[in-house]
Amino acid sequence: MTVHNLYIFDRHGTLLFYHEWLRRKHTSMSKAEEAKLLYGMIFSLKSFVNKLSPTISKEGFLSYKTSNYRLNFYETVSSLKFILNTDNETNQTEIRELLHGIYTQIYVEYAVKSPMVNPGEVITSNLFRNKLNQYVQSSSIFKTH
Amino acid sequence: MGIYHIFIVSKSGGLIFNYDHNIPQLEYEKTYSYPLDIKLRFENNRVTVVFGERDGVCVGHVLLTVNGQPLNYDKLPDGRDVFEFLEERENYPVNLKFGKAKITTNEKIVLASMFYPLYALAVQLSPEQGSSGILELEADTFKLRCSQTLTGIKFIVVSDLKQAGVDQLLDKLYELYADYALKNPFYSLEMPIRADLFDEHLQVAIDQIERTGFI
């Protein structure tokens, strides 16, 4: 049960925050390019799901699974996007709760309420990073090999 | 309930087969009085609801019929413009039916081609070594499962969240493709599949999986 990495995007597609815990393969492009590619993929996936859905969907795209990892997606009403890569064995409801918790207890508390963090800019706050790390590592999902 | 769509995408990314099964058509019909409080706009060649969600009619729904008569893009069957029709007080009370727009074949071709690079991007953006492409995609109303063969053909099944045995259906699809499409002497690779036996056996397989949950 591992968490690989986390990306946070704002409504315009700017990468606000990236953190990795266990990542064995890196792409050959820069962080900014990888973020743009990921954002583009998520945007296309959301539109794809919207078109294909048999009924009007409330939440839309939630996650996808490959042979090695699972990408989980959480979007708030303000179009803030959280993308979390985990392994395949983790329970889906636990991940959704984790993502919801990251938004309400970490992002709102330490990023939105912080006067040092400006909307639309990369979050450099150490407090945010530490609290996030603490929160994820203390959750039942996280286990190091 | 069950299986919604089946798509087969060729190695080069083109849609070579598509099949629609039981897609739930949820429609909302109601009689409205003047003035209409649902805001409509002509988008993507259809009259869509953009504001004024109520009684099951959501943003994104499309106006299907007016007083029982189906619309022709934005015109009524007698040629009048529907927006002008809905502006006039004397046409009320009017019976309007809304629903989700049915997906056209062109849109399906676009979607299948869109899935192809998304599948490849999942490999590229993987945090682990040796990942495959997207095997399962989950949304809140459906689940999409994809199986890629060694030759690059992708079998995609869109089903509802609780449907079991889709992996077996994907394997069965590959078997049917090999038997009734590839072994057909008149079939050329990468071309759309037009074989009656393929359709028949596919229908049998789907019915079996919907009834029993396994093949």
For the stretch B107-136, pLDDT in tens is 999 999 999 999 999 999 999 888 889 999
Determine the straight-line distance between the first and last CA of chain B, rounded to whole angstroms: 17
State whether A61 and B137 contact (CB < 8 Å).
yes
Note whether A43 contacts B: Cβ–Cβ < 8 A: no
Asked if the Cβ–Cβ distance from B128 to A68 is below 8 Å, we say yes
Which of A5, A51, A56 to mutate to test binding with chain B, by most B CBs within 10 Å of its CB? A56
- Mutation target for B interface from A18, A64, A73: give the one with most B CBs within 10 A: A64
Burial label for A55, CB within 10 Å (0-12, 13-18, 19+), is middle
d(Cα B146, Cα B130) in Å, to the nearest integer? 18
Q: Please report which confidence band the pLDDT of residue B71 belongs to, taking 50, 70 and 90 as the band edges.
A: confident
Min Cα distance A54 → chain B (Å) is 6
Phi/psi of residue A63, each to 5°? -160, 165
Half-sphere exposure (Cβ direction) of A54: Cα atoms closer than 13 Å: 20
Q: Do A67 and B24 touch (CB under 8 A)?
A: no
> What global pTM score does this model have?
0.89
Q: What order of strands is seen across the sheet that includes strand B3-9?
A: A15-20, A3-9, A81-86, A70-75, A61-65, B136-139, B143-148, B154-159, B3-9, B15-20
**Is B160:B1 a contact under the CB 8 Å cutoff?**
yes
| Preferred mutation among A20, A36, A43, A55 to probe B, highest tally of B CBs within 10 A | A55
Cα gap A30→A22, rounded to integer Å: 18
Does residue B5 register a pLDDT over 80?
yes
Model confidence at A144: pLDDT above 60: no
**B111-134 burial code (b ≥16 CB/10 A, e <16):** bbebbbebbebbebbbbbeebbbb
Q: In Å, how far is B162's CA from the nearest CA of chain A?
A: 15
Chain B contact for A145 (CB, 8 A cutoff): no
Distance of alpha carbon A8 from the chain centroid:
5
Instruction: Tell me the β-bridge partners of B75.
Output: B72, B81
| CA A57 distance to own-chain centroid | 21
Cα(B78)–Cα(A19) distance, integer angstroms: 61
Q: Name the token pair of A52.
A: 């294909």
CA A108, A113, A117, A121 dihedral sign is positive
For A41-60, the pLDDT digits (tens) are: 999 999 999 989 988 888 88
Between the CA of residue A56 and those of A28, A52, B99, B139, B149, what are the distances in Å? 38, 10, 9, 11, 32
Identify residue B136 by its one-letter amino acid code: E
Residues 78-117, chain A: which have Cβ within 8 Å of B? 85, 87, 92
pLDDT tens, B133-184?
A: 999 999 999 999 999 999 999 999 999 998 888 999 999 999 999 999 999 9
Mean pLDDT of the residues in chain B: 89
Residue A29 reports pLDDT greater than 60: yes
pLDDT interval class at A145 (50, 70, 90): very low
